Amino acid sequence: MANRTGPVLVIGGGIGGLATALALAKKGYRSQVLEQAHDFKEIGAGIQLGPNVFKMFSLLGLLDDIHRLATFPENLIMMDCVTAKEVTRIPLGREFLDRFQFPYALIHRADLLNVFLKACQQSGLITLDTSRKVTALTDHGDRVSVSTNEGPTYEGVALVGADGLWSTIRSLLLHDGNPRISGHIAYRAVLPTEEVPERLRWQTMAFWAGEKTHLVIYPIRGGELTNLVAVFHSKRYEEGWDSFGDPAELHERFAGTCEEVRTMLSKIESWRMWVLCDREPVKCWTRGRVALLGDAAHPMLQYLAQGACMAVEDAVCLANQLEQAGGDFERAFQAYNQMRYLRTARAQLTARLYGEVYHASGVAREVRNQVLSQRTPQQAYDGLAWIYDGIEGTPPRSS
């Protein structure tokens, strides 16, 4: 008989970890979230949400809260960074909604995390602890225990490692080394929209594709703020998610781009820098009563804007499998792994491919522009359907 008495230990209180705790609670399972940071917090930047994750928000009862905080762009537009001409656009209005049932949205990361955090805090089944860095784990067969840097140990019926790209739980479970450094660097910043020239204030997700560079610009917080992500190839291979960028390097990399792009880049004095990494997809990321989830399981480059969306899908899938297995964690985790690995591997590999296409140079860039400019909205929707149609889920049995 499966041990169901203790909490499920959820390591990491990012989007994936909090979504897991909430999805488990919706199925009646207790959890204990352990987060290494002093607070549950996300970096000050935007994030894109595809209709597939809205389907998950709906199952988790979060739709109204997200709708209140999100911005709904009219189009996804790709511009050529060199010529400043539009390459292609995907309309996100009525036609999109009819096709995918749920919208495409842009949101501040802190707002998204807070929606999950509030829902977790309101659940009587979730305990949230910060300043707890998990360093070791033992699977005893009928339970799991972990040690933390700060001293306390915790015991639970099972463990979900949602501890991100540099996951400790993954290294203890799979021993497969560090993530792959892609050679692409992202600089991120948010600025008040009033500082953006009026002609560049678009109610859209604008993607300016250049040669080995691109710039993403979109509104968040109802248009009050504008989110910028500038990506370029660089040999500065430092680990880390939160160091300051070097504006001189950025301006040098974007020197060959159009006036619109350079104007936007000049608005920002202080950038945060990310070294973009992923991993080769693997088939197995669970063992016994331990499972990985989100970036810990299948980190991907950001070119599909799906890492967080996939983490939330993972959470719903895992909780559904647990319900279906009647609380048998080993069976549920295996079923979860089986149901998720191909979809998330496809996202990992497609994200790399998109990166190549977005950063195409020379003739390859011209071919890209020619092919994409001939694409109809219907063809674009069909090409994205494998992601945006999302996964099946079952509604919660308790709230």
Residues that bind ligand FAD (CB under 6 A): 11-17, 34-37, 47-48, 132-134, 162-165, 168, 186, 229, 274, 276, 294-296, 302, 305-309, 311
Q: Which amino acid is at 76?
A: L
Give the Å distances, CA to CA, from 310 to 22, 75, 348.
15, 22, 10
Q: How far is the CB of 337 from ligand FAD (least distance, A)?
A: 16
Q: How far is the CB of 396 from ligand FAD (least distance, A)?
A: 21
Q: How far is the CB of 1 from ligand FAD (least distance, A)?
A: 30
In the chain, % helix, strand, coil (3-state, to 5) comes to 40, 25, 35
The nearer residue to ligand FAD, 47 or 327, going by C-beta atoms, is 47
List of residues 6+ apart from 81 with CB closer than 8 A: 208, 209, 210, 211, 213, 214, 215, 254, 257, 258, 261
The nearer residue to ligand FAD, 53 or 360, going by C-beta atoms, is 53
Q: How far is the CB of 15 from ligand FAD (least distance, A)?
A: 5
Q: Which residue, chain included where needed, has tokens 């790399």?
A: 352
State both tokens at 340. Answer: 């998720």
The nearer residue to ligand FAD, 306 or 337, going by C-beta atoms, is 306
Greatest CA separation found in the chain? 66
Give the Å distances, CA to CA, from 130 to 24, 37, 41, 253.
19, 6, 11, 39
Q: How far is the CB of 374 from ligand FAD (least distance, A)?
A: 26
Query: Cα–Cα distance between 182 and 243 in angstroms, integer?
Result: 17
The nearer residue to ligand FAD, 273 or 369, going by C-beta atoms, is 273
The nearer residue to ligand FAD, 34 or 318, going by C-beta atoms, is 34
The nearer residue to ligand FAD, 3 or 127, going by C-beta atoms, is 127
Q: How far is the CB of 91 from ligand FAD (least distance, A)?
A: 19
Region of 4 (left: φ > 0; alpha: ψ -120 to 50; beta: rest) is: alpha
State whether residue 286 is helix, strand or coil: strand
Q: How far is the CB of 134 from ligand FAD (least distance, A)?
A: 4
The nearer residue to ligand FAD, 215 or 305, going by C-beta atoms, is 305
Other CB atoms within 10 A of residue 350 CB = 17
Give the Å distances, CA to CA, from 275 to 181, 183, 188, 190.
7, 7, 11, 18
Q: How far is the CB of 315 from ligand FAD (least distance, A)?
A: 9
Q: How many CA atoms lie within 13 A of 261 on its CB side?
A: 30
Within the chain, where are the H helices? 15-26, 51-60, 63-69, 94-100, 109-122, 168-174, 247-253, 259-266, 307-324, 329-358, 362-373, 377-388
The nearer residue to ligand FAD, 158 or 327, going by C-beta atoms, is 158
Q: How far is the CB of 251 from ligand FAD (least distance, A)?
A: 19
The nearer residue to ligand FAD, 47 or 157, going by C-beta atoms, is 47
